[in-house]
Amino acid sequence: MRVTTKRKKLVRDVKREALARMEAVARTEEDFNAVVAQWDHLDENRERKERAHEIGRREEMYYIGYRDGAVVPLPIQHPYWRELMRGDFISYIYDNAEEIWQVLADWQIGSLVKSLTAKQKEVLFLSVVRLCTSAQIACYQDKTDRAIRKLLAAALEYIRSYLAERIRWRIKEDLPVTKEKRDFLDWYEKQKAALDSGDGE
């Protein structure tokens, strides 16, 4: 086992050194394309290994029905139960409106969700995580559909506006910004421009 581990480490070191040499001697466009192709190959291998350890979740699996105020137990094949049986309690512990921000991948969005009011958190949780419609949430909370839509719109606008502001600041300070966030900022600014032009009319 130890010999095999050392051999694998030696192979990784040799490949890493070969790639470093390719980068150092690259001069032509073909050379740089070869370097990029090698990096793409390494990324594909890494993503394939990561996918092998992920638990697949279909969209409908996030829905848990409410029945007389109680949560309907999930089937044994559901990812939640599979995680619980192997001792992974993170998704289960934070699966509620007040704590869901702790498991969000983006810390900036997580901090914004955390700062929402309790009512906004609950509506956002039921809408985004439980995939409930505004009519279903209104029935559950004994409110009107319009009130729920207004509350959800306010929560989303709060998150989007502050997130856009933070992205602009990072771009201004020449800090790293993901393509996903740049695309979001472009979309948000177009939406705001359309709304402003509509108000002006």
Structural domain includes residue 101: no
Q: Same structural domain for residues 43 and 114? A: no
Instruction: Report how far residue 155's alpha carbon sits from residue 179's, in angstroms, rounded to the nearest whole number.
Output: 24
Structural domain includes residue 99: no
Query: Per the structure block, which two tokens stand in for 175?
Result: 């800090």
Q: Same structural domain for residues 196 and 111? A: yes
DSSP state of 133: -
Q: Same structural domain for residues 129 and 166? A: yes
Structural domain includes residue 79: yes
* pLDDT tops 60 at residue 80: yes
DSSP state of 59: G
- Total of domains in the chain: 3
Structural domain includes residue 11: yes
* pLDDT tops 60 at residue 53: no
Q: Identify the pLDDT of residue 3.
A: 58
Which single residue is written with the structure tokens 């999930």? 74
Q: Same structural domain for residues 74 and 133? A: no
Structural domain includes residue 75: yes
Q: Same structural domain for residues 110 and 189? A: yes
Q: Same structural domain for residues 121 and 47? A: no
Instruction: Report how far residue 46's alpha carbon sits from residue 112's, in angstroms, rounded to the nearest whole number.
Output: 31
Radius of gyration over every alpha carbon of the chain, rounded to an integer in angstroms: 24
Structural domain includes residue 100: no
Average pLDDT value for residue range 90-119: 84
Q: Same structural domain for residues 114 and 139? A: yes
Q: Same structural domain for residues 115 and 170? A: yes
Query: Per the structure block, which two tokens stand in for 30?
Result: 């073909």
Mark 144-178 as b/e (b = at least 16 C-beta within 10 Å).
Answer: eeeebbebbeebeebbbeebbebbeebeeeeeebe
Question: What's the pTM?
Answer: 0.54
* pLDDT tops 60 at residue 70: no
Structural domain includes residue 98: no
Q: Same structural domain for residues 146 and 176? A: yes
Instruction: Report how far residue 17's alpha carbon sits from residue 20's, in angstroms, rounded to the nearest whole number.
Output: 5
Q: Same structural domain for residues 81 and 131? A: no
Q: Same structural domain for residues 140 and 86? A: no
From residue 149, give the alpha-carbon distance in Å to each of 36, 127, 137.
47, 10, 10
Host domain of residue 144? 106-200
